[in-house]
Amino acid sequence: MKIPCEVVKDLLPLYRDNVCSDESRTIIEEHLLECDTCKKYLDDMDGDFIQTNDEKAAEQAKSDILKGIKRQLFRKNVMVSVISVICAIAVLLGGFSFIFHYQMPIPYENGLVSVKKGDNGMVDVYFNRDDYYCSYKWNTTIEKNGVKQRVAYIYYTDTIWTKYFSKPQKDKQYKYTINNSAFFDYDDDNRFIEIKKDISAVYYLDYSHIPKLSTEELQKNSSKAVLLWKK
């Protein structure tokens, strides 16, 4: 039975690549012995795929270059992704720290703080607003009108969170106590003695901006202090 040329042409790629069955190979070879058209078709197919060693080397070089470019682009994309993730994390951590931990001194206004002397002799300080981040206190001895007295300077700070987002806690009392009792020291004979250092006044003063925390620096800024309580 004579096989049509179109069928043979469909099988020729398989024949050329040695992937057809033995039966198909036999049929194709018998057809090629009798059909110059199909034989020429096969020769043309072989001619299209013949490459010199130089051409193959050039193609391989191009392929290697493309692979190298792809690897470089991949590494670059990975590095960009890693850096982007690190930057995003840094921004998030920075934003978190700024919102929750960046302190802003609370300026004094009437009713912000109240001070009372308790039954135990301690001085109790009450914060009368919804919330705050941190409180600061420093006890020192100053000289006022020629008289030395023990005083306490206090102030409070806010963060963005406590100022704008924190919800007040019902029935929570913001209170701390300033130690107003005796402390111990040594006299001239190196004997252990008790010395009374009662707090005579409490002032509200933001001393966070004072470059050197000392009695002299505080006294320079004492005009800004607000008297909250005195004996």
Q: Which of 70, 101, 132 is the last residue of a domain?
A: 101
pLDDT for res 16: 83
pLDDT in tens, the chain (231 residues): 678 888 888 888 888 888 888 888 888 888 888 888 888 888 887 666 555 555 556 667 777 787 788 888 888 898 999 999 999 999 999 999 999 999 999 999 999 999 998 777 788 999 998 889 999 988 888 777 777 888 889 999 999 999 998 877 777 788 888 876 544 555 566 665 555 567 889 999 998 877 666 667 766 777 788 999 988
Whether 92 and 119 share a structural domain: no
pLDDT for res 57: 66
Cα pseudo-dihedral 60, 66, 69, 70, rounded to 10: -120
Whether 168 and 214 share a structural domain: yes
pLDDT for res 70: 83
Whether 114 and 221 share a structural domain: yes
- On whether the CB atoms of residues 183 and 195 are closer than 8 A, the answer is yes
Whether 173 and 209 share a structural domain: yes
Strand 201-204 relative to strand 147-158, pairing: parallel
pLDDT for res 144: 74
Q: How many CB atoms lie within 10 A of CB 115?
A: 20
- On whether the CB atoms of residues 163 and 121 are closer than 8 A, the answer is no
- Rounded distance between C-alpha atoms, residue 111 and residue 231, angstroms: 19
Whether 95 and 111 share a structural domain: no
3-state SS string for 108-141: CCCCCEEEEECCCCCEEEEECCCCCCEEEEEEEE
Whether 45 and 29 share a structural domain: yes
Whether 36 and 92 share a structural domain: no
Whether 76 and 113 share a structural domain: no
Host domain of residue 73? 54-101
Q: What is the number of H-type helices and E-type strands within the chain? A: 6, 10
Please count the structural domains in the chain.
Answer: 3
Whether 198 and 146 share a structural domain: yes
Whether 114 and 226 share a structural domain: yes
Whether 206 and 140 share a structural domain: yes
- Rounded distance between C-alpha atoms, residue 141 and residue 231, angstroms: 15
Whether 123 and 179 share a structural domain: yes
- On whether the CB atoms of residues 119 and 188 are closer than 8 A, the answer is no
